[in-house]
Amino acid sequence: MVILPCEGQEPARRQEGRFGYGSVWTWTALDPDTKLVASWMVGSRDGAAAKEFIGDLASRLASRVQLTTDGHNAYLTAVEDTFGADIDYAQLVKIYGNETAPEDARYSPAICMGSRKETILGTPERKHISTSHVERQNLTMRMGMRRFTRLTNGFGKKLENHIAAISLHFMYYNFCHIHQILRITPAMAAGVTDRLWSIADIVALLDVTEKAKAEANRSQRENSYSNKGPALGFKM
């Protein structure tokens, strides 16, 4: 089963006459059995972003899953267009009160009055319809990076740096962090790797990537030279 609400963040806002990206969201997909974050994406909160995210998630799944999301309407079309009938999909819709929060609590969510489970596609098991695991993962993400702490100098301001920080966080979480309950890393529990990775292993990936880029650039230059034909000759 995979569950994936999205978590908000605003690393760049309109300020001093300059335009930033405004609000961006970190979409996360978690397997509650292995605790693996199977997919994540930073983007807007619209239907196009939802479709791109669900498409990436589908490409990483080897079999049919049960899926739970929150009540965000963008998931409905994205999941149906991507999976069709090959999924057991439900939404956990939380019901919030209408009380207006005081000024000093403007970043606090409204009071949750309850929730309801809605079957959308297939036959999901009701006992597994839950977003609790991924909400706990969102807390882990926030506590692991100061970029999500509002009203501090660590709060994300540049989108490129924000994405890079989240990439490193999830790479470390999946491959290097030993889960307290599983006693192994999420990647090991999911069968993605058979060993515990170190930070040195992550850094080594940069060398592999840079080498691959250099090889690609060299091949491109050689192809461009070979396609130019014979050089023109001049007689003195």
- 97 domain residue, yes or no: yes
- Total domains in the chain come to 1
Tell whether 122 is covered by a domain: yes
pLDDT digits (tens, 9 = 90+) for 87-128: 999 999 887 777 655 555 555 667 777 778 999 999 999 999
User: 176-220, pLDDT tens digit by residue?
Assistant: 999 989 999 999 999 999 999 999 999 998 888 788 888 887 877
Q: Is 7 part of any domain?
A: yes
Q: Per residue in 89-119, is it b (16+ CB within 10 Å) or e — as a string?
A: bbbbeeeeeeeeeeeeeeeeeeeeeebeeee
pLDDT value for 67: 96
Report how many helices (DSSP H) and strands (DSSP E) the chain contains, helices first. Answer: 6, 7
- Alpha-carbon distances of 60 from 56, 82, 157, rounded to whole Å: 7, 13, 30
Domain of 55, CATH number, reads 3.30.420
Domain-embedded: residue 70: yes
Domain annotation covers residue 217: no
Count of residues for the chain?
236
What is the domain range of residue 57? 2-157
Strand partners, 2: 67
Distance, in Å, from the CA atom of 232 to the CA atom of 222, rounded to the nearest integer, reads: 19
Backbone φ and ψ of 183, nearest 5°: 70, 10
- The answer to whether position 184 is within a domain reads no
Flag whether 196 is in a domain. no
- Whether residue 212 is contained in a domain is answered as no
